[in-house]
Amino acid sequence: MLNLRAIDLNLLPVFEAVYEERNMTRAAERLAMTQPAVSNAMARLRAAAGDELFVAGRRGAAVTPAAEQLYPRVKGALDAIREGLGETRHFEPHESNRRFTVGMLYAPGIRLGQSFANWLKREAPLLSWKWVPQENREGAVAALRDGRLDFLIDQAKANARDLESAELFADELLVIAAGHHPRIGKTLSRKQFLTERHVVHRSLRFPGNLVQIEGALGNHALDVALEVREPLELPVSVAGTDFIAVCNRRLASPWTKILGLKLLPLPFRAAPLKAHVVWHRSRRRDAGHRWVREGIVRLAAKLA
């Protein structure tokens, strides 16, 4: 167990930065320190903790189970200190070097990500961020609660008392197929849909998953050729094959010309999908967090 009396508390923000960046050099840049100073700080913290926190990985610093266990506690304590000292009550976008992490249970398409990146580059050039796909809602909500995620893009709005949300946009499901598909032209019948081979997303979290589709078709089983791990694999897996897939329009549309895909209406009824940005209510008074989430909502509205 970490003995706080045995360590310099200045090491904790360094640990936070290395954990979030997964890279000593990027953490050093973020903290305005040298890379050797960051490495030295982590060596001192490792000695105090009595366990390895980071090990060399292919892309930088890989976290250990000890670091995974320590991070939520350090993050929560540092956030509480920042709020107490007023750091989160006043936010200057052009001066902030804060880091924000956006989890994704819903793939909003590349346009929102591009708009977000361009907006931050213009309005908050020192601020850093990353988008992280999430495996399931339970894990994503836990990450919001312990500070590993600042925001979550999800189909579902906030469904717990400690969470808040705002609607981003409505989307629709459609069928994607290769432009040169040998059996499918400009339309697709219900019978064709049931007889073609499908690419589906393996997780129940993503629009177009197997359970959702088969339920809309009266529980008729589909002929599944391939299950993919990530949403972006759907259009790539359909291109150049005679498979088809159900996908949300915002994710599929940018790939029609690049991959030579065609978009077809569903041969069955499906309610429009709604995307939301979700956050933990403890961030309500955080001026920087509010500035970013309001920006996400505003950018999504412009793309509607």
Higher-confidence position of 120 and 6: 120
Query: Considering only 28-32, 93-97, 128-132, 195-199, which range has the smallest mean pLDDT?
Result: 28-32
Residue 79 — pLDDT band, cuts 50, 70, 90? confident
SS3 state of residue 30: helix
Position 279 pLDDT exceeds 90: yes
Mean residue pLDDT of the chain comes to: 85
Position 11 pLDDT exceeds 60: yes
DSSP 97-136: --EEEEEESS---HHHHHHHHHHHHHH-TT-EEEEEE-S-
CB 264 within 8 A of CB 177: yes
Mean pLDDT in residue range 13-35: 86
* pLDDT cut 70: percent of the chain above it: 91
Q: What is the pLDDT of residue 294?
A: 94
Query: Considering only 168-172, 220-224, 277-281, which range has the smallest mean pLDDT?
Result: 220-224
Mean pLDDT in residue range 118-147: 88
Pairing of strands 173-178, 261-264: antiparallel
Residue 69 — pLDDT band, cuts 50, 70, 90? confident
- Both tokens of 279, joined, read 């956050």
Q: What is the pLDDT of residue 29?
A: 84
**pLDDT tens readout for residues 233-255:** 899 999 989 999 998 888 888 88
Mean pLDDT in residue range 205-227: 73
d(CA 282, CA 198): 42
d(CA 22, CA 64): 11
CB 61 within 8 A of CB 55: yes
Position 205 pLDDT exceeds 60: no
Pairing of strands 60-63, 54-57: antiparallel
Q: What is the pLDDT of residue 185?
A: 92
The residue whose two tokens read 């310099």 is 8
Q: What is the pLDDT of residue 208?
A: 61
Q: Considering the entire predicted model, what is its pTM?
A: 0.68
Mean pLDDT in residue range 74-89: 70
d(CA 223, CA 192): 11
Q: What is the pLDDT of residue 213?
A: 72
Q: What is the pLDDT of residue 121?
A: 92
SS3 state of residue 198: strand
- Both tokens of 10, joined, read 């200045």
Residue 296 — pLDDT band, cuts 50, 70, 90? very high
Residue 164 — pLDDT band, cuts 50, 70, 90? very high
Which are the contacts of 61, defined by CB distance < 8 A and separation ≥ 6? 18, 21, 22, 23, 24, 54, 55
CB 268 within 8 A of CB 216: yes
* pLDDT cut 90: percent of the chain above it: 31
Higher-confidence position of 102 and 77: 102
Q: What is the pLDDT of residue 286?
A: 86
Position 3 pLDDT exceeds 60: no
Higher-confidence position of 246 and 216: 246
Q: Spell out the domains of the chain, with CATH numbers in brackets.
A: 1-87 (1.10.10.10), 95-167+272-304 (3.40.190.10), 173-271 (3.40.190.10)
The residue whose two tokens read 């790539």 is 236
Q: What is the largest CA-CA distance in the chain?
A: 71
